[in-house]
Structure 1
């Protein structure tokens, strides 16, 4: 029986082609597996844990921010308290002067006449009846000075009394010529007695010059 060399060559070529195809397929499969591993590794390591130093820095920043907020709040509270104190002080001063009425003087040596319906009695220590006194240093004398100082809005300790005389009602009215220590301004202050409450200023006359010096 004769040998068919053509058929034998055809089978060899088919085996060679099949071998090449298998090699190519295996190579492609290996490449795909490698790509899968690379992508998986990239995804797995894409979210590293937070840096401890960075976390610590964030905590310090938050603490500093809280501390700053507390200091600012404390400063605001102190400022508000100080503002309230100043407002109260100004209010106390305005209580005395807010109702002040000034008129031009029409008497010799009188620059202007000052009245204030809000003036109140200054209180008294005289509990056993009142008797007007013109003795320097007596309780009644000092209470008259207190009323005069109150009328011109100064302290009695910082006031000089140049003259003290009786008013139209000698028992219940007196007139003081006074000025603040170190000041050239001189005032004539009229005070009247209120039973149980003490002396109360009624009229203040600012003098052009001190005629009692």
Structure 2
């Protein structure tokens, strides 16, 4: 039987093309695998695990030492801070409690004069103002309240030795008072503020009680 060369030629060409294609595909696959291996090696082996552990351990120790140092420093500074705060509180208390401006006086029987810009009217239950110098009246009691406020004493623990008119008899009065159990005697000047009551304006600490 004669050989058909026309049929065997195309088949051999197809086989040759398939072989070339397979070789190319296999080569590409091999290249991809090699690249994957190289990348994986760089990821897993470029930064050894032992070094980060040592570094992190050193950082932790350094942080702990720094933290302890800060705590020790804070402990050392606490007494000073507490002392400063204590002094600040004491100063505030002195300002709030006394808040007074004291001046020596050359007046007879006056040891010193005291004023306080923070003094306020003590309030009133009066409608309008009904000035009175009668003991036990509403106006009298409100005057005593203002005097007690000025010398920082409870009104029920204060003795009023004398109450007299000021330069403006309806709106100014002067009381001589002392706190019970105290030898200090004061002359308290007060003035009327409409709708707000009597307000201390000046206190004179007397050398001796001249109203007994």
- Give runs of aligned pairs for residues 187-206 of structure 1, distance below 5 A: 187-206=186-205
For 1:53, the equivalent position in structure 2 comes to none
Give the number of aligned pairs: 124
Q: Which structure 1 residue ranges, 5 or more long, are not aligned?
A: 1-87
Matched, 1:211 2:187: no
For 2:25, the equivalent position in structure 1 comes to none
Structure 1 distance, partners of 2:113, 2:146, is: 17
For 2:125, the equivalent position in structure 1 comes to 125
Secondary structure of the 1:103 match is strand
- Give runs of aligned pairs for residues 34-183 of structure 1, distance below 5 A: 94-98=95-99, 100-126=100-126, 128-183=127-182
Larger-gyration structure (1/2): 1
Q: What is the CA distance between 1:96 and its match in structure 2?
A: 4.7
Q: What is the CA distance between 1:97 and its match in structure 2?
A: 2.0
Structure 2 distance, partners of 1:175, 1:203, is: 10
**Cα deviation 1:125-151 (Å, max 9, x = unaligned):** 00x210211000111001000000000
What is the TM-score when the length of structure 1 is the normalising length?
A: 0.55
Task: Summarize the Cα distance change of 1:92–1:134 in structure 2 as closer, same or farther, 3 Å threshold.
Answer: farther
What is the TM-score when the length of structure 2 is the normalising length?
A: 0.55
Secondary structure of the 1:205 match is strand
Alpha carbons 1:124, 1:198 under 8 Å: kept = yes
Structure 2 distance, partners of 1:96, 1:140, is: 27
Structure 2 distance, partners of 1:149, 1:184, is: 15
Structure 2 distance, partners of 1:137, 1:108, is: 31
Secondary structure of the 2:96 match is helix
Structure 1 distance, partners of 2:95, 2:153, is: 14
Structure 2 distance, partners of 1:189, 1:112, is: 12
**Cα deviation 1:136-177 (Å, max 9, x = unaligned):** 011100100000000010100000000000000000000000
Alpha carbons 1:164, 1:177 under 8 Å: kept = yes
Alpha carbons 1:113, 1:204 under 8 Å: kept = yes
**Cα deviation 1:66-125 (Å, max 9, x = unaligned):** xxxxxxxxxxxxxxxxxxxxxx9x968843522x10000110000000000100000000
Structure 2 distance, partners of 1:93, 1:193, is: 28
Q: Which structure 2 residue ranges, 5 or more long, are not aligned?
A: 1-88
